[in-house]
Amino acid sequence: MNNIKTTNSKSVKETPRLGTEKSGRNLPCVAIILDSCVSLPSDKIKPFVTIVSQFIQIGLDSVTDFVGSQSKDYDPYLNSPLPLTTSRPNPSQFYDSIKQFAIDGYKQCLILTLTTKTSGTYDSAVIARSMAVDDALFQENDITVVDSSQVALGHGILAIEAMNYVIGGSNLPSIVEHLNTLKERLRSYYLIDNIIPMYEGGRIHSKIPPSTLVKTWYIIKIENGELHVVERAPTMNKGFSILTQLFKSGKINNHVFPIVINYIGLDNMAMRMQNLILSDDADAYIINSPLCLDLSVHFKPTSLGISWCEE
C-alpha cells in the first residue's frame, strides 16, 4: 500500500516537546517560522515550528487567517458583497514569533515564506529580522529569511525538509543551503477552473490576450516563483489528464522527498491521483486545503494541485 494520508493543510502550533541539542540543552538548535499560505499535513507540524497568519480584507475590515480553519468558517466572508482581498502579515507578527523563540532558548531561526512574486510576506519577514538583530534577539548570522519561490504545495515540501534537517541536527547554514538547492528541483502544477480573477489581479504572470481569456479549466505551474499558464482544457477530465501526464513525465524522487497532492472541491480527483504514486514506500500526502489564500479565499476557484521534487 502507498503511504498516503489525508489531513487538513494547517494546524495550530503544538505544545513544545523537547529534543536534543549537541550542546546538551534540551532544545533543537533551529526554530522555524512559516506563513499560513503553506500547505502542510497537520501531523508534520513540529514543536519548533510556528505559523504566522495572513489577513483577509473584507471591505474595510480585516480578518485573521486562522490556522486549522475549515471552508465553512469563511463562507460568511466569501459570500459577502464587499470587496475581498488578502494582505500579508505585518513585521510585528514575525517579530513576536522571533522574540518568543529567543526567549525559549533557540539559538538560530529560519523564516520560510511564500514566493515574493505574489506577496510581500517576505518583505515583512526581512524587516522583522532586522528588528530582531537590532534588539540582539539573534546574531546576524543566526537568523535567515528564505523565499520559497513557491505557493502552498512546494512551500510545504520545503517546510517538511527544513523540519527533517532540524531533527537531524543540522545547523542554519546547512538548512538554508539545502532549501536553496531543493527549490530549483521542485515541480508544482495546478488544475484550476477559472483564472480570470487571478489574471486580472496580477497573480498570473503569463501574457494572455484578453479575447482568449475565458472561464474554463487551466493548468498552471509555479516557475521561478511565478504562476504561468501551461495549457487550457475544455473539461475537468481533460485537465486532469494533462495534469497526470505532466506528473508521469517527471523524474520523481519518491524515496527522499514527499509528493504533496492538494485539492479544493476536487476530492474525487485527488483520490484518483493516488494511482499515480507507483512506489510502495513513497512518502506522499493528500491534503484537503479548503483555504489557500492565493488560490481559494482570494478568488474561490476549484482546484487540484500536485507538487514533487525531481531527481
- Sign of the alpha-carbon torsion through 216, 221, 226, 232: negative
Residue 40: the pLDDT is 77
Q: Pick the residue with more confidence: 69 or 114?
A: 114
Mean pLDDT, residues 1-25: 35
* Domain architecture of the chain: domains with CATH: 7-183 (3.40.50.10170), 185-309 (3.30.1180.10)
Q: What is the C-alpha separation between 233 and 219, in angstroms, rounded?
A: 8
- Sign of the alpha-carbon torsion through 278, 244, 305, 188: positive
pLDDT category of residue 117 using cuts at 50, 70 and 90:
confident
Mean pLDDT, residues 272-287: 63
Partner residues linked to 143 by β-bridges: 109
Residue 16: the pLDDT is 32
Answer whether 39's CB lies under 8 Å from 160's CB: no
C-alpha torsion angle, residues 202, 57, 88, 265 (rounded to 10): -70
Three-state SS at 160: helix
Residue 102: the pLDDT is 96
Query: 191-200, 201-210, 221-230, 282-291 — which is least confidently predicted?
Result: 282-291
Q: What is the pTM of this model?
A: 0.81
Q: What is the pLDDT of residues 121-136, one digit of tens each?
A: 999 999 999 999 999 9
Indicate if the pLDDT at residue 245 is higher than 80. yes
Mean pLDDT, residues 190-198: 79
Indicate if the pLDDT at residue 14 is higher than 60. no
List, in sequence order, the alpha helices (H) in the chain.
Answer: 71-78, 91-104, 121-134, 153-167, 172-182, 196-200, 236-249, 267-273
Residue 77: the pLDDT is 61
Express as a percent the part of the chain with pLDDT over 90. Answer: 28
Three-state SS at 148: coil
Going by their DSSP bridges, the two strands 84-87 and 55-58 should be labelled as antiparallel
- Sign of the alpha-carbon torsion through 140, 142, 146, 152: negative
